[in-house]
C-alpha cells in the first residue's frame, strides 16, 4: 500500500514548546539546536524514580553512576567522559546547580515532584552560560501554581529491594500570590549490600503578580537531607560468581 500523505488542506500541527537554548523564548521547531524536552505529562507517566533516571533515557545522554542511585551520579552529553562533571551545566530555573569545586551537581537534592519539565540542549553553550557548558546544558524547570486552579497531586510507589517513593505537590492562588509546595520521601536498600539511600526533599515557591501580571516576582526555598551507604569495590571473582557474591559489600 502507498504510504500515508497529508492532504494540502490537512496540515500537520506541532505543539510549540518554549525553550531556553538562546535565552530568548521561542518555539522548539524554530530553534536551530539539538534539543529535547521532557514534559510534565511524560514525567508523570514515567517509571523513573529520580531526575537522573528520567534524563538518562534521552538520546546521547549517558549516565555515570558508581552506586546505582542519583547520589554522586553524572550525566554525560556529547562524550565528555570523566570530565562531564565540569563540562555539562545543570541548572534549576536558570540557577546553576554545579558546584565550584568541579565535583558536579548533586541530583539527589531535586525530586521529580518539583519538576515541571526538563530542557536538554546539546553542544557548546559557554557563550551564553559561561564555563561548564561545553558538552551541553540541562535546565530543570520547577512547578508553579496554575492561578485560579488549585492543585493536589499525591503519588506512592513501591519497587524491588524495598524501594519506596512518595511524592506530594500542592498549589493554590492567594489573591495576587501563587503558592506551590512540593515534598518527596525516597528510600531503597539498593541492589548491593550497604547500598541503601534514604532522602527527604521539600520545596516552597511563592510567586507574586502585579500590574495585571506585567510584573512577576518569584521566591523559592528548598530543603534536602539524605543518608546513604557505600558498597565498596567488587572483585572480578565476585563479579563472575553467584548473585549473592555480586551483591556482597567488602
Task: Answer yes or no: is pLDDT of 21 > 70.
Answer: no
CA atoms lying within 13 Å on the CB side of residue 109: 16
CA dist 152 and 90 (Å) reads: 28
Confidence tier at 234 by pLDDT (50, 70, 90): confident
Region 2-12: what's the mean pLDDT?
50
User: In Å, how far are 51, 112, 137, 148, 249 from 107, measured between CA atoms?
Assistant: 7, 10, 14, 32, 24
Model pLDDT for residues 157-167, shown as the tens digit of each residue:
888 889 999 99
Q: pLDDT band for position 185 (50/70/90)? A: very high
Collapsing DSSP to helix, strand or coil, 45 comes out as helix
DSSP 3-state of 144? coil
Q: Which of 210, 215, 157, 216 is nearest to 184 (CA)?
A: 157
Cα–Cα nearest to 106, from 234, 196, 224: 224
> Mean pLDDT over residues 54-60, rounded?
90
- Higher-confidence position of 1 and 23: 23
> How confident is the model at residue 111, as a pLDDT?
87
Percent helix, strand and coil across the chain, each rounded to 5?
A: 15, 40, 45
For residue 15, pLDDT over 80 is answered with no
Rounded to whole angstroms, the Cα distance separating 196 from 231 reads: 9
pLDDT tens profile 62-111 = 998 877 778 888 999 988 888 888 889 999 988 888 887 777 888 888 88
- Global pTM reads 0.78
Of the pLDDT bands very low, low, confident and very high (cuts 50, 70, 90), residue 212 is confident
What is the pLDDT at residue 16?
57
Mean pLDDT, the chain, whole residue set: 83
Angle at the Cα of 225 from the Cα atoms of 219 and 230, rounded to 5 degrees? 140
Three-state secondary-structure class, residue 85:
helix
CA dist 131 → 100, 109, 137 (Å): 11, 22, 11
Burial of 128 (0-12, 13-18, 19+ CB in 10 A): middle
φ/ψ of 91, rounded to 5, equals -130, 155
DSSP symbols for 178-228? EEEEEEEEEEE--SSTT--EEEEEEEEEEEEEETTTTEEEEEEEEEEEEEE
Asked if pLDDT for residue 1 goes beyond 50, the answer is no
pLDDT digits (tens, 9 = 90+) for 25-50: 666 666 657 888 898 889 888 888 88
Strand order in the sheet with 197-210: 151-159, 163-174, 177-188, 197-210, 215-228
Which runs of E-coded beta strand occur in the chain? 18-19, 26-27, 35-38, 61-64, 74-77, 88-92, 95-96, 115-122, 136-142, 151-159, 163-174, 177-188, 197-210, 215-228
Sequence length of the chain is: 250
Residue predicted with more confidence, 16 or 237: 237
Region 202-226 average pLDDT: 87
Amino acid at each position: 500500500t502507498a504510504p500515508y500523505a497529508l492532504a494540502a488542506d490537512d496540515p500537520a500541527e506541532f505543539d510549540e514548546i518554549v525553550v531556553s537554548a538562546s535565552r530568548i523564548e521561542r518555539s522548539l521547531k524554530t530553534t536551530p539546536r539539538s534539543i529535547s524536552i521532557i514534559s510534565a505529562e511524560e514525567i508523570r507517566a514515567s517509571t523513573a524514580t529520580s531526575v537522573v533516571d528520567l534524563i538518562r533515557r534521552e538520546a546521547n545522554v549517558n549516565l555515570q553512576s558508581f552506586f546505582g542511585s542519583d547520589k554522586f551520579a553524572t550525566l554525560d552529553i556529547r562524550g565528555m567522559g570523566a570530565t562531564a562533571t565540569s563540562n555539562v551545566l545543570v541548572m534549576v530555573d536558570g540557577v546553576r546547580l554545579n558546584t565550584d569545586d568541579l565535583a558536579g551537581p548533586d541530583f539527589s537534592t531535586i525530586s521529580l515532584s518539583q519538576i515541571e519539565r526538563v530542557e536538554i540542549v546539546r553542544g557548546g553553550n559557554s557563550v551564553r552560560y559561561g564555563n561548564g557548558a561545553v558538552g551541553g546544558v540541562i535546565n530543570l524547570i520547577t512547578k508553579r501554581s496554575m492561578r485560579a486552579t488549585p492543585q493536589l497531586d499525591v503519588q506512592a510507589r513501591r519497587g524491588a529491594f524495598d524501594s519506596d517513593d512518595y511524592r506530594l505537590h500542592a498549589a493554590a492562588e492567594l489573591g495576587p500570590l501563587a503558592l506551590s509546595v512540593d515534598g518527596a520521601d525516597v528510600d531503597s536498600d539498593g541492589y548491593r549490600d550497604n547500598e541503601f539511600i534514604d532522602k527527604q526533599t521539600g520545596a516552597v515557591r511563592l510567586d507574586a503578580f502585579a500590574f495585571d501580571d506585567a510584573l512577576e516576582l518569584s521566591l523559592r526555598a528548598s530543603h534536602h537531607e539524605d543518608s546513604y551507604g557505600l558498597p565498596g569495590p567488587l572483585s572480578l571473582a565476585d563479579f563472575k560468581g553467584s548473585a549473592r557474591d555480586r551483591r556482597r559489600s567488602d
